[in-house]
Amino acid sequence: MASDALPLARREILLLEDDPALRRRLVATLRALGGEVSEATNLAEARRLLRDLSFDFALVDLHLPDGDALMLLREGVFSENTGVVVMTAFGGIPQAVEAMRLGAGDYLTKPFEPEALPVAFLRCRQQRTAARRTEHQNATGTDGAELFFGHSLDAVRRQLDTILAAERRLERRLPPVLIEGETGTGKTALARWLHRHGPRAAEPFIAVNCAALPEQLAESELFGHERGAFTDARTARTGLFEAADGGTLFLDEIASLSPAIQAKVLVAIEDGRIRRLGSNKEIAIDARLIAASNRPLRALAETGGFRDDLYQRLDLLHVTLPPLRERGADIVALARQLLAATAKRHRLRALTISDDGARRLQAQRWSGNVRELAHEIERAVIFGQTGAPLDFAHLPAAPSSAGVSPASGSSASSADAQPLHDWRNPAWRLPESGFSLDAITTALIDDALRETGGNVSAAARRLGVTRQFLRYRLEGGTGEASDAASREAKL
């Protein structure tokens, strides 16, 4: 068997046992399992080793010549990254229970079989990583949003099915997944969906917003640190890569990480190993990585804003979520799903959306995407009349009350188009200080070109002007010349 495949490969273990014969047998067993063992025969030697070295595990006899090993636990000399297993004779069970209350992860009753050692150490590690996951989730909360596909995400769903099929074949060392999309499009919900439907659904899912990590703490948060690694490192800390071992680590807004930390992420992906801050020892991990960005990483890599080697590694399985404004009739279907969830959360009976409300929802640009839509739904529920269909009267009216079907999302003909003031926000007033009508015109033209994919003829039809007028504006015509062109277009 390769050394790295051994149960305790590369694990630093402190053995505290005063019986020479038993200590020799335990050392031989631990080394045969791949462990690197440091021996101590009393509390004083153990304290010295714990002060000078860091250990993954400690195997500790409770009764020693110079005292009770419970003293070490009470003194807090073991690192938070050290899993402690205590050994006791049959009559010492109450003391073993007390040791676990003080922070030990497991206990073994003498005599025990050698096979019990790696099992006990594994329980310690699982307990430690579970505590770190709980701490992280309590600090950050969880995103409970459900992913809604609809017809507009059919292509995305096919991509996901392909990814899941590949993951079921591989099982271990899964390749990373990159999700791109504007803020609020549902990248976290998509990552959670992938985890829940993949081969690691029963394992932990840990989501990290990299943009919210202070740069000086990001490395410690992701990779962990040893006691004394920096000024405020009074205790050791398990990193989130370790906490996600066996499961999924979701790094949202990964482009916010510094180049140095991006390099460590690349090593973790390629080698399956991390190194805690302040340690010279590598730790094997098998955390499947999902990364997300609200900015195209290819463009960032080309301009030096993101490591090109990390981008190339992330780009193997790549999913792009479209903005909400491009999802057509699915906007209303998504709104109904969000409404049902909101009503349930507030313990209200089922609510509906009126036809006028559906048209208003489809008329918005939704710069905040799904997150903004969810906010508007909750506002309408809280401030709306009890039981009445939601019409979202606080939103600007749709461009055409007859031209947009909530079922199909199709537009009316230009002959049925409503005048400008019908869809302008009724709360808007002309500012006393004035504003630039020319800038507003340019913005409307930009919107039309974006929505038509740069098709000048189609954009002109949507704006109700001639193609010549639009070309004139695009070539830099403004002011009185623009007004003249506009008047000419209407003749």
Distance CA 336, CA 380 (A): 13
| pLDDT of res. 54 | 82
Neighbours of 185 (CB within 10 A): 25
| pLDDT of res. 277 | 87
- Which of the residue ranges 32-36, 159-163, 427-431 would you say has the lowest mean pLDDT? 427-431
Phi, psi of 275 (to 5 degrees): -135, 125
Report if residue 175 sits inside a domain.
Answer: yes
How do residues 279-296 score in pLDDT, each as one tens digit? 888 888 899 999 999 999
* For range 80-99, the mean pLDDT: 83
Residue 315 shares a structural domain with residue 456: no
- Which of the residue ranges 44-53, 96-105, 457-466 would you say has the lowest mean pLDDT? 457-466
Domain boundary among 357, 378, 393: 393
Report if residue 45 sits inside a domain.
Answer: yes
Pairing, β 224-225 against β 205-209: unpaired
Copy the structure tokens of residue 308: 């090109």
For residues 386 and 419, is the Cβ–Cβ distance under 8 A? no
Report if residue 50 sits inside a domain.
Answer: yes
* For range 23-51, the mean pLDDT: 92
Here the CATH number for the domain that contains residue 190 is: 3.40.50.300
| pLDDT of res. 406 | 43
Distance CA 330, CA 333 (A): 5
Domain boundary among 87, 111, 126: 126
Residue 298 shares a structural domain with residue 165: yes
Residue 203 shares a structural domain with residue 276: yes
pLDDT for residue 67 is more than 90: no
Q: CB within 8 A of 74, min separation 6: which ones?
A: 102
| pLDDT of res. 421 | 45
| pLDDT of res. 437 | 79
- Which of the residue ranges 77-86, 144-153, 173-182, 324-333 would you say has the lowest mean pLDDT? 144-153
Here the CATH number for the domain that contains residue 474 is: 1.10.10
Between the alpha carbon of residue 475 and those of residues 441, 442, 478, the distances in Å are: 14, 12, 9
The three-state DSSP-derived secondary structure of the chain is CCHHHCCCCCCEEEEECCCHHHHHHHHHHHHHCCCEEEEECCHHHHHHHHHHCCCCEEEEECEECCEECHHHHHHCCCCCCCEEEEEECHHHHHHHHHHHHCCCCEEEECCCCCCHHHHHHHHHHHHHHHHHHHHHHHHHCCCCCCCCCCHHHHHHHHHHHHHHHHHHHHCCCCCCEEEECCCCCCHHHHHHHHHHHCCCCCCCEEEEEHHHCCHHHHHHHHHEECCCCCCCCCCCEECHHHHCCCCEEEEECHHHCCHHHHHHHHHHHHHCEEECECCCCEEECCCEEEEEECCCHHHHHHCCCCCHHHHHHHCCEEEECCCHHHCCCHHHHHHHHHHHHHHHHCCCCCCCECHHHHHHHHHCCCCCHHHHHHHHHHHHHHHCCCCCCECCCCCCCCCCCCCCCCCCCCCCCHHHCCCHHHHCCCCCCCCCCCCCHHHHHHHHHHHHHHHCCCCHHHHHHHHCCCHHHHHHHHCCCCHHHHHHHHHHHHC
Closest CA to 121 of 52, 249, 21, 29: 29
Question: How many CA atoms does the CB half-sphere of 269 hold within 13 Å?
Answer: 24
| pLDDT of res. 475 | 76
Domain boundary among 268, 290, 322: 322
Q: What's the pLDDT band for 480 if we cut at 50, 70, 90?
A: very low
Here the CATH number for the domain that contains residue 53 is: 3.40.50.2300
Between the alpha carbon of residue 368 and those of residues 181, 364, 376, 445, the distances in Å are: 11, 11, 11, 21
Number of domains forming the structure of the chain: 4
* For range 298-318, the mean pLDDT: 94
Q: What does R_g of the chain's alpha carbons equal in angstroms? A: 31
Report if residue 430 sits inside a domain.
Answer: no
pLDDT for residue 20 is more than 90: yes
Domain that holds residue 342: 328-393
How do residues 183-226 score in pLDDT, each as one tens digit? 999 999 999 999 999 888 888 899 999 998 888 789 989 998 88
Question: How many CA atoms does the CB half-sphere of 365 hold within 13 Å?
Answer: 8
How do residues 394-405 score in pLDDT, each as one tens digit? 787 655 444 444
Q: 115 versus 427: which is more confidently predicted?
A: 115
Among 39-48, 88-97, 374-383, name the most confident range: 39-48
For residues 171 and 313, is the Cβ–Cβ distance under 8 A? no
Residue 298 shares a structural domain with residue 357: no
For residues 490 and 463, is the Cβ–Cβ distance under 8 A? no
Report if residue 159 sits inside a domain.
Answer: yes
Distance CA 303, CA 99 (A): 56
For residues 385 and 354, is the Cβ–Cβ distance under 8 A? no
Report if residue 415 sits inside a domain.
Answer: no
* For range 2-8, the mean pLDDT: 69
* For range 40-67, the mean pLDDT: 90
Residue 233 shares a structural domain with residue 107: no
For residues 210 and 218, is the Cβ–Cβ distance under 8 A? yes
Q: 277 versus 415: which is more confidently predicted?
A: 277
Residue 245 shares a structural domain with residue 335: no
Residue 274 shares a structural domain with residue 183: yes
pLDDT for residue 236 is more than 80: no
| pLDDT of res. 413 | 40
Burial class from Cβ neighbours inside 10 Å (0-12, 13-18, 19+) for residue 138 reads: exposed
Q: What's the pLDDT band for 424 if we cut at 50, 70, 90?
A: low
* For range 381-388, the mean pLDDT: 78
Here the CATH number for the domain that contains residue 342 is: 1.10.8.60
Residue 181 shares a structural domain with residue 235: yes
- Which of the residue ranges 27-41, 46-60, 230-244, 332-346 would you say has the lowest mean pLDDT? 230-244
* For range 367-378, the mean pLDDT: 91
* For range 113-141, the mean pLDDT: 75
- Give residue for tokens 């090993």: 69
Residue 161 shares a structural domain with residue 297: yes
Residue 89 shares a structural domain with residue 50: yes
For residues 360 and 397, is the Cβ–Cβ distance under 8 A? yes
How do residues 237-263 score in pLDDT, each as one tens digit? 888 998 898 899 999 999 999 999 999
Question: How many CA atoms does the CB half-sphere of 481 hold within 13 Å?
Answer: 11
Mean pLDDT of the chain: 82
| pLDDT of res. 411 | 41
Residue 317 shares a structural domain with residue 353: no
Phi-psi bin for 457: left (phi > 0), alpha (psi -120 to 50), beta? alpha
Q: 151 versus 89: which is more confidently predicted?
A: 151
Q: What's the pLDDT band for 311 if we cut at 50, 70, 90?
A: very high
Report if residue 240 sits inside a domain.
Answer: yes
* For range 397-424, the mean pLDDT: 45
In the chain, the amino acid numbered 2 is A
Copy the structure tokens of residue 126: 């699982």
Report if residue 460 sits inside a domain.
Answer: yes
Residue 81 shares a structural domain with residue 222: no
| pLDDT of res. 412 | 41
